[in-house]
Structure 1
Amino acid sequence: MSARYHLEDLLLLMARLRDPQQGCPWDLKQTWQSIVPHTLEEAYEVAECIEQGDYDHLKEELGDLLFQVVYYARFAEEEGRYDFADIVDGLTAKLVRRHPHVFPDGTLQSSSAGDASQIDTAAVKSRWEAIKAEERQQKQQAESVLDGVPQALPAITRALKLQKRAATVGFDWGDPLAVLDKLEEELAEIREALAGGDAQQVLDETGDFIFAAVNLARHLKIDPEAAVRSTNRKFEQRFRVVEALCAEQGQALTVARQEDPATRIDLQQLEAFWQEAKRRERQEQADETFP
């Protein structure tokens, strides 16, 4: 049985890959910017494994994501900025600071924390946000509570973070029903924009509608990114059934472009196939629930 590798081995591996004389040509060409798309992809693959309950495969994806951190740490070390140990030190210090209910004396060795079951979760979250706000103030004199929300985030995730920040100072709807009213208002404005034929206004109002939908998800305590990913998977599964049903009848799924009327399939039939796909999905779910 071979010996187990450790974190130090991974850091050594990265150093070897980036060695100017004997390293890997591909790794030597990489930069801070070129690795970013890989990092985002690995993060989403981690999320997908968790959402699908594939925890065996998750181990591999977590390793791939960790490798991204090691990459950035190596870039920083080569430029004399900091190294992996500095990243770990800064992260640990920050988390100790943000958990005073667990580390009351501000050290990792704290042993006088109270009973976790007796801690008010809402109070902990409030304190967490207050500490983060204090940290932002120390880093720079913030002009807005929205400062520091990364521009590069996926739009839906950034919308959620902006809304959460605004809510910390009371700029928020009182309940989900109020957000539903806002959604209906935005939908009416989309209809009005469509009637007016103004493309820019249609874009703006559609964005407002999506932003309000994110707000509704937040009030319902639903992660909007996870919700949309789930819907994407559901749509894909159903659409593949529609394709299969079309093929079974020798019909082509090209409504707009198919020239042969004998093989063209109309939207009414597609809707029937879609409903059949939904019926099969419900049946599969029922079969799983009652084996």
Structure 2
Amino acid sequence: MPRPFPPLEAVPLAEQHGQSFVRLVELMQRLRAPDGCAWDREQTLESLRRYVIEEAHEVVDAIDGGDKNELRSELGDLLFQVVFQAEVAREQGDFGPDDVIKAIIDKLVRRHPHLFADEAPADAPVSSADVLERWEKIKARERGNQGLLESVPRGMPALLRAQRVGEKVERVGFDWPDTAGSRAKVAEELGELDEAIAAGDPAAISEELGDTLFALVNLARHVHVDAEAALRATIVKFTTRFAHVEQRVRDQHGGWGEGDNAVSLAQMDVYWNEAKQKK
């Protein structure tokens, strides 16, 4: 027998303090109840993993697209995944949604002693760089003997993970002192990649290509560029330009064609250059 779930009343922005969060938890528990949704009841922490990743990527897409309504929707989807995981864990007797919130609040307060301690520390940070340095020091104390790089999630996209690894080691001084050193490393790795390609060694090519990509990410960090965002922007640009090529091929040739009737690369380059001019 269906049980209606009363809708939320709109709350003015100035009066929003997260008071509606409890309703999302209530809804999640209703979905997982014995008379709830069969699909929701079947889910596990493991089965939900893909949705956490998917929703996080959709949030990034919404940010890149600049659509605030879409971002609001996608943030809701991501928040639902957090609540979903927490509810599954609560049912298993591990932790619940309130434990999740308590954990992040405790962590943020602990890592901002210059704001929340009884007395401001003598080395209280004055810039964002100081804050990050102090954050890492506090984090290191909390983690004890854990390796510096063990806190970087292995499931991160590779470019993002590489940049986070570089940031971590930079904070303990294991880094090129300037951009020139990082740029020279890129040239060195490209030379080694060329040698591997010339030798025709697939394993060496793979290794040297990885080294080159890692060096490029480090260069991006030195010039204050987000490597992941830069590549995403380039993919969007390429996709947009190729869509123009594809449309021109359909309009002028009726399709890509095959064999001797295939659209030539030279002709596609003409359409590609048209796309570049469109901006």
TM-score normalised by length of structure 2: 0.88
- List gaps (5 residues or longer) in structure 1: 107-111, 282-291
| 1:16 lines up with 2:27 in the alignment | no
Measured in 1, the distance between the counterparts of 2:39 and 2:7 equals 28
Give structure 1 regions of 4+ aligned residues with deviation exceeding 3 angstroms.
Answer: 251-254
Q: 1:231-246 maps to which residues of 2 (within 5 A)? A: 231-246=234-249
The answer on whether the counterparts of 2:86 and 2:96 sit within 8 Å (CA) in structure 1 is yes
**More relative contact order in 1 or in 2 (CA 8 Å, sep 6+)?**
2
Shift of 1:251: 5.7
| Conserved 8 A contact 2:160-2:228 | yes
- Counterpart CA distance in 1 for 2:7 and 2:134 is 47
Query: What pairs with 1:83-232 in structure 2 (closer than 5 Å)?
Result: 83-105=96-118, 119-137=126-144, 141-142=145-146, 144-232=147-235
Corresponding residue for 1:33? 46
**Residue 2 (structure 1) shift:** 5.6
| Other structure's SS at 1:12 match | helix
Tell me the equivalent position of 1:280: 278
Once residues 251 and 264 of structure 1 are traced to their aligned partners in structure 2, the CA distance between those partners, rounded to angstroms, is 11
CA distance in 2, matches of 1:273, 1:3: 51
* Percent identity of paired positions between Structure 1 and Structure 2: 42
1:81 maps to a residue whose letter is D
Distance in 2 between residues matched to 1:273 and 1:22, nearest whole Å: 58
Q: Encode CA deviations 1:115-134: one digit per residue, 9 max, x unaligned.
A: x9x93222222111111111
Which residue matches 2:87? 74
* Cα distance change, pair 148–125 in 1 and its aligned pair in 2 (3 A): closer
2:262 aligned residue (252, 261, 264): 264
State the match for 2:69 in structure 1. Answer: 56
What is the identity, as a one-letter code, of the residue corresponding to 2:62?
C
Tell me, in whole angstroms, the C-alpha distance in 1 between the residues paired with 2:132 and 2:112.
10
Name the stretch that deviates more: 5-14 or 227-236: 5-14
Task: Give, in whole Å, the separation in 1 of the partners of 2:194 and 2:268.
Answer: 26
SS in 1 for 2:51: helix
State the Cα distance separating 1:189 from its structure 2 match.
Answer: 1.3
TM-fit CA distance, 1:13 = 1.1
Whichever residue aligns with residue 274 of structure 2, its letter is E
Contact 1:251 1:264 in 2 (8 A): no
Deviations 1:162-214 (A, max 9, x none): 11121122111122222221111111111111110111111111111111111
Task: Give the Cα–Cα distance (whole angstroms) in 2 for the partners of residues 35 and 11 of structure 1.
Answer: 17
CA RMSD of aligned residues (A): 2.1
Aligned counterparts of 1:245 and 1:188: Cα–Cα separation in 2? 39
Q: Unaligned 5+ residue runs, structure 2?
A: 1-5, 11-19
Change (3 A) 1:197 1:4: same
Q: Distance in 1 between matches of 2:184 and 2:256?
A: 38
In 1, Cα distance between the equivalents of 2:50 and 2:113?
Answer: 36
* CA deviation after TM superposition for structure 1 residue 147, in Å: 2.0
Q: Aligned equivalents of 1:228 and 1:214: distance in 2?
A: 10
